[in-house]
Chain A
């Protein structure tokens, strides 16, 4: 009886003390949350190791049509190639139980098909995604040489890829930063599928 009572008290405590889940967001000008993640080959990438270089983070999900369209159109690979001095890292925060999750070998096939040569990092527990406040695929973050976020938001202003003249925000941010000019806009609303975090 007392064991049951203790369990009930524990369940009650969990139910009523469960705090509201506060979402973190890395604002422009704030230090980019540090992380260490493995890529598809198992190589560890520690953000702090890239200090002194500009880093672009791209949240990716090959099963998201928005992510896939950009891969097919080469939006990211072209932008990365234009700024070869920049470290471009894709991060996949899809939960392992979600049907969008791809095993490393499948992801590698997808990357090969779409000419993605930059590292794709696995964040299946979503910790890094939550630390940055990544909510969509794609969702882009540009980090300067000092490790501060200088752009966050959409890749461009054309959610449906209708072929109109697009404003590639990441390209513009990188060009402005290289020229020592202020980044405008430094923050936009990203579009796409939700990041498939675990429950």
Chain B
């Protein structure tokens, strides 16, 4: 493991070579599974130093976001400036958190954080000196199968002259770009609803303002086409926490639902302060993470168009439009699909069961057509089922039957699953075994 760490750091250690009077990075504090260092970029506009806390982790290990999920803990950093190192003048420091990842743990638990590498940008108070010695005292925990807490002392001397093109500056910029942004700043509109009642839940919808609907979802520049599927991270709210969100992605927007778990049983908060972050959102600046803190009353909704974060509940109806119209079609298609599936099974199974002679040509053609219809319906359902769910249509029996619930469903995912289901059913019906006979004259 030590070899791994040494090799990983060989290429980036130049700036931290001993003997440098001033360096844009501290030496690495090297542990078996993780290493940390402090990096400095060119000063901020207000003259304060721009720093980052850089971690490199062995495979499988992760460190944490500001809210760690079900377990773990975020890092804690104290910065001191001046000749006294760690005993120098304490500098007010805020740790900033790039867009996190979600890690599934055994037992249905989740951890939220970073694997491989991360730089936490640090926001220092404007009073911090832009030159001289900086000392960071860092506590953090890294976890894989097990967890190990670490304490590192990192020091660096800020360079006399700012190097805006150095490797550390580039690294810092790269990770600053991964900090969540205000949705309005990147052309993303959003709406948050809070449904109270016996099963309180919130629903968050995001739309990229440049998304266009041109019919087929492959032509859309919608949120679901960002490559990596968007994920929602919800921090605990005063008086409530949230269940793991369910994502309903489709071509033009993405909608998440999450059950609200009141802190006091049966008493959901009258108004909910929701700190939310959505990752992998295509926006005017490319694929970004967006975040907001929104207070929404029970039974109400809030959304962009006003001041954004902490905007009061708006009376405007939620987006339903095309998705609502698509829902009945989806239901009809679903029923047609099931009917076709039943017909195909009868066509393929009965002759064998009843020991009838080899199927006639018409029967073979019917079998092929039924199979083609099933593939086409699977393709269409992939797009329409999420849309139907977004529109609030309860297709619970169908959704469960087709296994399309869960937090990772995208149209292509659903299609793959449906095709697999049909292929398995066809195999079970004996169609593959009968294939050569059907093809032979």
Contacts and interface: CB of A to CB of B under 8 A. Distances in A.
A191 B68 contact: yes
Interface string A52-68: 00000000000111100
A5 B71 contact: no
B146 to A, nearest CB: 7
B403 interface: yes
Contact of B72 (A8, A15, A28, A191): A191
B266 A29 contact: yes
B425 A12 contact: yes
Interface in B379-431: 400-403, 405-407, 417, 420-421, 424-425, 427-430
A194 to B, nearest CB: 4
A30 B265 contact: yes
Interface in A155-199: 159-160, 162, 186-187, 189-199
Interface in B122-151: 139, 141, 143, 145-149, 151
Contacts of B141: 65-66, 159-160
A27 B264 contact: yes
* Chain A interface size range: 35 or more
Nearest to B67: A189
B105 interface: yes
B421 A12 contact: yes
Interface string B215-251: 0000000000000000000001000010110100000
Contacts of A98: 145
Q: Is the interface of B mostly helix, strand, loop or mixed?
A: mixed
Contacts of B106: 95, 194, 196-199
A19 B400 contact: yes
Given A27-B262, A27-B265, A186-B263, A194 B108 contact: no
B107 A8 contact: no
Contacts of A65: 141, 147-149
Contacts of A11: 424
Given A8-B427, A11-B424, A193 B433 contact: no
Nearest to A196: B106
Contacts of B109: 135, 194-195, 197
Contacts of B402: 16
A188 to B, nearest CB: 9
B160 interface: no
Contacts of B246: 20
A130 to B, nearest CB: 7
A23 B108 contact: yes
A197 B403 contact: no
Interface in B256-314: 261-267
A6 B68 CA distance: 44
Contact of A15 (B108, B148, B403, B433): B403
Contact of A9 (B68, B139, B266, B425): B425
Nearest to B107: A197
Nearest to B406: A20
B107 A160 contact: no
B70 interface: yes
Contact of A5 (B403, B405, B429): B429
B264 A63 contact: no
Interface of B: 67-68, 70-73, 76, 105-109, 111, 139, 141, 143, 145-149, 151, 236, 241, 243-244, 246, 261-267, 400-403, 405-407, 417, 420-421, 424-425, 427-430, 433
14 contacts: A5-B429, A11-B424, A12-B424, A19-B400, A23-B243, A27-B265, A27-B266, A66-B147, A160-B139, A160-B141, A160-B151, A194-B107, A196-B107, A197-B106
Given A28-B263, A65-B149, A198-B106, 14 more contacts: A5-B427, A8-B428, A27-B262, A30-B266, A64-B146, A64-B147, A130-B107, A136-B70, A159-B139, A193-B143, A193-B147, A195-B109, A197-B107, A198-B107
Interface of A: 1, 5-6, 8-9, 11-12, 15-23, 25, 27-30, 63-66, 69, 95, 98-100, 126, 129-130, 135-136, 149, 159-160, 162, 186-187, 189-199
